[in-house]
């Protein structure tokens, strides 16, 4: 079955440190891939997306993600984390077909230490 997996439930980093959040998609057809961020009690904001082409994708707020077909991964990175980056991050994939249904990972909750 098509799936998106985020192996890390919680991650804590120090402010100013680098960040990498992991995302793996199920093997097979490559989905369109998305990273969203959610602050507590809020909706989801799109950070970046990958449809095709350049495998390193730049997004908003200084985030980037790299698509690696060989590893079925689409990891999110930021070189220097700010306290305002504390939130929950969701990876999602759209495998196409008739529904345009997004398949979401279970999310990674990021805490930032001062």
Partner 1 sequence: DGGITQSPKYLFRKEGQNVTLSCEQNLNHDAMYWYRQDPGQGLRLIYYSQIVNDFQKGDIAEGYSVSREKKESFPLTVTSAQKNPTAFYLCASSITIHQETQYFGPGTRLLVL
Write down the residue that tokens 């950070």 correspond to.
47
CB-nearer residue toward partner 1: 85 or 89: 89
Candidates 36, 50, 67, 74; binder of partner 1 (CB under 8 A) is 36
Q: Is 83 in the site for partner 1 (CB under 8 A)?
A: no
Candidates 46, 56, 60, 111; binder of partner 1 (CB under 8 A) is 46
Beta bridge partner(s), residue 25: 4
**Up-side HSE of residue 1: CA atoms within 13 Å toward CB?**
4
Which positions touch partner 1 (CB under 8 A)? Answer: 9, 32, 34, 36, 41-46, 49, 51, 90, 92, 94, 96, 98-102, 104-107
């Amino acid at each position: 079955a098509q799936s998106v997996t985020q192996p890390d439930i919680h991650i804590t980093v120090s402010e100013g440190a680098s960040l990498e959040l992991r995302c793996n998609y199920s093997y097979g057809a490559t989905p369109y891939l998305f990273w969203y961020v959610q602050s507590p009690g809020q909706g989801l904001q799109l950070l970046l997306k990958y449809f095709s082409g350049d495998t390193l994708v730049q997004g908003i707020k200084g985030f980037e993600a790299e698509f690696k077909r060989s590893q079925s991964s689409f990891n999110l990175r930021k070189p220097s984390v700010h306290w305002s980056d504390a939130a929950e991050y969701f990876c999602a994939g759209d495998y196409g077909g008739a529904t345009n249904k997004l398949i979401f990972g279970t999310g990674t909750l990021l805490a930032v230490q001062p």
